[in-house]
């Protein structure tokens, strides 16, 4: 539990497979390469666990579609976002829902979810921060309780799939 004297740190990790960060390999050719993401993810999770470190992972849509395991996923999109078209995130959400992913959330913001857009949109920034902390609480990740409480209702509203009993 956090108190006013504790230090809260946030760790976020972008996860891509080795060939996905090489701009010379087009997406249409990715299927020809060996996936190492599961092995590397397990290694990373073990290292984090051994050091009692919690983290948020940002995973490419392609990876989430290829390996839709039981990881909780919070998709964030905006119809005005110029960086990531809304339809891409919506299509990923549909694919994961159709795969019966048990922990799927889809938050739609008014203007955008990239840092440059949130600087100018206090309402979206506030909603995203609160929902993120509520999501972290639900996942057992270190969070700020006050923000998690504020984000609980909007997080429930953006839940796509229900956990099976």
pTM for the model? 0.65
Q: What are phi and psi of 108, to 5 degrees?
A: -105, 120
At 114 the pLDDT is: 58
Max CA separation in the chain (angstroms): 51
At 143 the pLDDT is: 83
End-to-end CA distance of the chain: 28
Dist CA 143 CA 133 (whole Å): 5
Contact in structure between 102 and 164 (CB atoms under 8 Å)? yes
Domain boundaries, the chain: 8-67, 70-165
At 1 the pLDDT is: 44
Tell me what the mean pLDDT of segment 21-43 comes to: 79
Q: Which two tokens stand for residue 108?
A: 């739609």
Tell me what the mean pLDDT of segment 115-137 comes to: 79
């Amino acid at each position: 539990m956090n108190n006013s004297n504790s230090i809260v740190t946030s760790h976020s990790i972008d996860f891509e497979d080795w060939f996905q960060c090489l701009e010379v390999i087009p997406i249409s050719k990715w299927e020809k390469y060996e996936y190492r993401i599961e092995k590397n993810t397990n290694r990373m999770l073990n290292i984090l666990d051994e050091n009692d470190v919690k983290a948020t992972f940002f995973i490419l849509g392609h990876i989430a579609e290829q390996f839709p395991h039981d990881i909780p996923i919070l998709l964030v999109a905006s119809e005005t976002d110029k960086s990531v078209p809304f339809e891409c995130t919506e299509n990923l959400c549909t694919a994961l829902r159709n795969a019966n992913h048990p922990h799927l959330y889809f938050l739609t913001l008014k203007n955008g979810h990239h840092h440059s857009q949130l600087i100018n949109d206090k309402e979206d920034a506030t909603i995203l921060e609160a929902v993120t902390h509520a999501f972290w609480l639900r996942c057992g990740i270190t969070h700020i309780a006050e923000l998690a409480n504020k984000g609980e209702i909007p997080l429930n509203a953006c839940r796509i799939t229900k956990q099976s009993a």
